[in-house]
Amino acid sequence: MPVKTLPKSVSVLMPLALPAPYDYEVPDGLIAEPGAYVIVPLGAQQILGVVWGEGTGEVDPKRLKPILEVLDVPPMPGVLRRFVDWLAAYTLNPRGSVLRLAIRAPGALEPQRMRTAYRLVDKRPARMTPARQRVVDTAMDQFARTTRELAEEAGVSDGVVRGLVDAGALVPVDLPTEAPFPVPDIGAVSKSLSPEQLVAAETLRKRVDENRFAAILLDGVTGSGKTEVYFEAVAEALAQGRQVLILLPEIALTSQFLDRFEGRFHCRPAEWHSELSSRERTRVWRGVAEGRARVVVGARSALFLPFPELGLIVVDEEHEAAFKQEEGVTYHARDMAVVRASLGQFPIILSSATPSLESSVNAEQGRYERIVLPERHGVAELPSITAIDMRAEPPERGRWLAPLLVNEIANALAAGEQAMLFLNRRGYAPLTLCRTCGHRIECPQCSSWLVEHRFRRELVCHHCGYSAPVPKACPSCGAEDSLIACGPGVERIAEEVAERFPEARLAVLSSDNLRGPQSHEEMFRAIEAREVDIIVGTQIVAKGHHFPWLTVVGVVDADLGLENGDLRAAERTFQLLQQVAGRAGRAERPGRVFLQTYMPEHAVMRALVAGKRDAFLRREAEARERVGLPPFGRLVGIVVSSENAALAQKFAREMARHAPRAEDVSVLGPAPAPLALLRGRTRLRFLVKATRNVNIQAYMQAWLGEMKVPAAIRVSVDIDPYSFL
């Protein structure tokens, strides 16, 4: 009797909200190695999946469905699969949802379009003409060219080339239609580094050479040359034949960065961010997978690219909250980059002039190595920082800039220098109020005020994007011409600047009037070229930029970030203001920074004025340690939301009853979220607080596993939350 062999099976993970891979049969003739991209049947559909490993054997072999197709793409590297698993387990997301982040280039998995080129072989046609000879001479270098290219280079008609093809002297080869990736020139000389920079660069090179996991905090003041220094580590990794990933917090920073990279390595790196065309995404994804793209500069999602040879990650401006992904699969890209480096056993560099408390503590406790660059490069000095007490020196009525600051701007302009005013608030005014009845105009779907945008002549919700024309009469009492704008946004500051300095050339930079990297690039070029005298901007201008002629920086409302009292409010305000301040005086001319504040005695203002960053961080750390807040304890944020307010409340109470009791874990809430209504959904919050030794994921699973969530309710879980709204 013939022995019946069991069909070979593998498990396949699909990019759907599924917690685990499913088993499939590998039909004879197909090879489905781990990581292979495959098409499998699921119900009536055919969908893309990735072979995750051996079959689990949980499905009756007779009922296994077969893999339909194995795609012609390099398999997903094992380390990326482990990263997906790790991230899913840590953030409590289904593995399939995380996988989806790793295959976000739809075209990349389709067969690539090819163009036909020709290469010369030894065979010669019976009849040789001078024209044919010219083609043969041209093709002698063995370089494959298209018919057109050959004809043009040899100065003959296409027909001559085709004749040689027919005669078998030229043979076709397929070449990809996509533009190739230029190779960074690692032999190019770097800027000559200062002795401190050199020491730092040598240490980084050494870590790259050691070829194992290491986390290094590159802690250098603004303008100290951190970028130049870590470029040396990039060069070293490239020399070792490894790929490099550089994470930036914002697209706005990309264009200047690409220029600098090009200056150093004589080629532009591949880019990865949300504004790429789908064609570019495809090209970059493939280029990374096939090892042709050696350096990628990208936003947080670049972490999920299928690098086969990744050997270094740099996280620039590592303190930035923008690295936290807040929607869908929530994760902190800086923290996950450290995990990725550890799984891949290579070094990671976290660079910042204002390190996060998390990274500072990690350095203090020896988990990270700290490299310090204490001084600005060259003759540049750190700027002086002055607090303007708005209670003692208020602006005139209806104005927002204090006399001292106005005076300093005038001085800068007179000296041919640039000034920058920073206010982290888009639009014209954050609140519109009726003088007659006191009504405040709110978003109909969120518990937030509508922000007036005067350029657009609209009231806009900054939470959900709702917008409406500014009404003529008060929507509540009907009084005409009674609505007044309260408080300033950047547009209002720009208005004041234009009135005060009518001669000055003004640039307003906020995400409303700058869309996409192109427009950023133009603006930043204009500033560098001194075509602008005064810059008014939101946090887009706060960091990373190098404007040599900028000497005066004014912070219109230094207290703004302290208003929302979350645990990182002081830390973040300090970082942001220090970064803004760091834009001033980066070249020969010294910088002066002015903070308009109603709380000059606040610890943040005092530390900034005195230049006492480390003391400030230490005090912050002590305060958090006392109450067990991150990084000394763990937090999980939970939001229960529904369009049905009563249902949300009922379910939240039920959840509270089911919270498991555990030592060292406390559950706060449910309480109405600060943003109690968002896009028409009522939101309630829990905050879970635990000590570091608690396996918080296990706790959460035990809790949520108990709960049956009705369809009208959404429960979102945020491990290590950064937003508490």
Ligand X SMILES: Nc1ncnc2c1ncn2[C@@H]1O[C@H](COP(=O)(O)OP(=O)(O)OP(=O)(O)O)[C@@H](O)[C@H]1O
Could you give the 3-state DSSP secondary structure of residue 169? coil
Q: Does 474 bind ligand X (CB under 6 A)?
A: no
Q: Does 443 bind Zn ion (CB under 5 A)?
A: yes
Q: Does 202 bind ligand X (CB under 6 A)?
A: no
Q: Does 546 bind Zn ion (CB under 5 A)?
A: no
Report the C-alpha gap between 133 and 626 in whole angstroms: 84
Q: Parallel, antiparallel, or unpaired: how do β-strands 665-678 and 681-691 relate?
A: antiparallel
Among residues 445, 467, 697, 723, which is the contact residue for Zn ion, using CB under 5 A?
445
| Token duo for residue 88 | 């899913």
Site string for Zn ion, 189-208 (x = CB under 5 A): --------------------
Q: Does 193 bind ligand X (CB under 6 A)?
A: yes
- Contact status, residue 682 vs residue 648, Cβ threshold 8 Å: yes
Could you give the 3-state DSSP secondary structure of residue 426? coil
Question: What residue has token string 């990581």?
Answer: 35
| Token duo for residue 377 | 């490069």
Q: Which is nearer to Zn ion, 22 or 466 (CB)?
A: 466
Residue 669 has a CB neighbour count (10 Å cut-off) of 19
- Contact status, residue 237 vs residue 244, Cβ threshold 8 Å: yes
510 contact choice in ligand X, Zn ion, none (CB below 5 to 8 Å, kind-dependent) = none
446 contact choice in ligand X, Zn ion, none (CB below 5 to 8 Å, kind-dependent) = Zn ion
Count of residues near Zn ion by CB under 5 A: 7
DSSP string, 557-601: -TTGGGSS--TTHHHHHHHHHHHHHTTTT-SSSPPEEEEEES-TT
Q: Is 267 one of the annotated binding-site residues?
A: no
Kindly report the CA angle at 428 between 423 and 432, in degrees rounded to 5?
A: 120
Which among 388, 417, 410 is positioned nearest to 551, based on CA atoms?
A: 417
226 contact choice in ligand X, Zn ion, none (CB below 5 to 8 Å, kind-dependent) = ligand X
Among residues 9, 97, 147, 197, which is the contact residue for ligand X, using CB under 6 A?
197
Which among 540, 580, 535 is positioned nearest to 557, based on CA atoms?
A: 580
Could you give the 3-state DSSP secondary structure of residue 698? helix
Q: Does 139 bind Zn ion (CB under 5 A)?
A: no
Q: Does 232 bind ligand X (CB under 6 A)?
A: no
Q: Which is nearer to ligand X, 123 or 191 (CB)?
A: 191
544 contact choice in Zn ion, ligand X, none (CB below 5 to 8 Å, kind-dependent) = ligand X
Which among 23, 57, 19 is positioned nearest to 42, based on CA atoms?
A: 23
Q: Does 441 bind Zn ion (CB under 5 A)?
A: no
15 contact choice in ligand X, Zn ion, none (CB below 5 to 8 Å, kind-dependent) = none
Site string for ligand X, 603-642 (x = CB under 6 A): ----------------------------------------
9 contact choice in Zn ion, ligand X, none (CB below 5 to 8 Å, kind-dependent) = none
Kindly report the CA angle at 501 between 498 and 502, in degrees rounded to 5?
A: 65
For 76, phi then psi, to 5°, come to -65, 125
Q: Does 463 bind Zn ion (CB under 5 A)?
A: yes
Q: Does 582 bind ligand X (CB under 6 A)?
A: yes
User: Shortest gap between Cβ of 192 and ligand X (angstroms)?
Assistant: 6
Q: Is 464 one of the annotated binding-site residues?
A: yes
Region from 126-134, 194-202, 358-366, 455-463 binding Zn ion, contact rule CB under 5 A:
455-463
Judged by CB under 6 A, the chain residues 370 through 399 that form the site for ligand X are: 377
User: Shortest gap between Cβ of 270 and ligand X (angstroms)?
Assistant: 21
- Contact status, residue 253 vs residue 544, Cβ threshold 8 Å: yes
Q: Does 546 bind ligand X (CB under 6 A)?
A: yes
Count of residues near ligand X by CB under 6 A: 18
Q: Does 214 bind Zn ion (CB under 5 A)?
A: no
| Token duo for residue 63 | 């009922």
User: Shortest gap between Cβ of 494 and Zn ion (angstroms)?
Assistant: 25
Q: How far is CA 54 from CA 32, 40, 58, 343, 473, in A?
A: 10, 16, 11, 21, 68
Q: Which is nearer to ligand X, 197 or 597 (CB)?
A: 197
Report the C-alpha gap between 476 and 436 in whole angstroms: 10
Q: Does 449 bind Zn ion (CB under 5 A)?
A: no
Report the C-alpha gap between 559 and 305 in whole angstroms: 39
Report the C-alpha gap between 150 and 202 in whole angstroms: 48
Q: Is 437 one of the annotated binding-site residues?
A: yes
Q: Which is nearer to ligand X, 191 or 658 (CB)?
A: 191
Q: Which is nearer to Zn ion, 108 or 451 (CB)?
A: 451
Among residues 55, 96, 163, 220, which is the contact residue for ligand X, using CB under 6 A?
220
For 564, phi then psi, to 5°, come to -80, 120
Region from 97-105, 189-197, 443-451, 456-464 binding ligand X, contact rule CB under 6 A:
189-197
Q: Does 446 bind Zn ion (CB under 5 A)?
A: yes
Residue 62 burial (10 A CB sphere; 0-12, 13-18, 19+): exposed
Q: Which is nearer to ligand X, 353 or 678 (CB)?
A: 353
463 contact choice in ligand X, Zn ion, none (CB below 5 to 8 Å, kind-dependent) = Zn ion
Which among 425, 366, 320 is positioned nearest to 722, based on CA atoms?
A: 320
- Contact status, residue 321 vs residue 722, Cβ threshold 8 Å: yes
Q: Is 486 one of the annotated binding-site residues?
A: no
Q: Does 222 bind ligand X (CB under 6 A)?
A: yes
DSSP letter at 304 equals: G
Could you give the 3-state DSSP secondary structure of residue 637? strand
Report the C-alpha gap between 265 and 355 in whole angstroms: 27
Residue with the shortest CB distance to ligand X: 225
User: Shortest gap between Cβ of 544 and ligand X (angstroms)?
Assistant: 5
Q: Does 585 bind ligand X (CB under 6 A)?
A: no
Among residues 56, 112, 146, 194, which is the contact residue for ligand X, using CB under 6 A?
194
| Binding site residue list for Zn(2+) | 434, 437, 443, 446, 461, 464, 474, 477
Q: Site residues (CB under 6 A) for ligand X?
A: 191-194, 197, 220, 222-228, 353, 377, 544, 546, 582
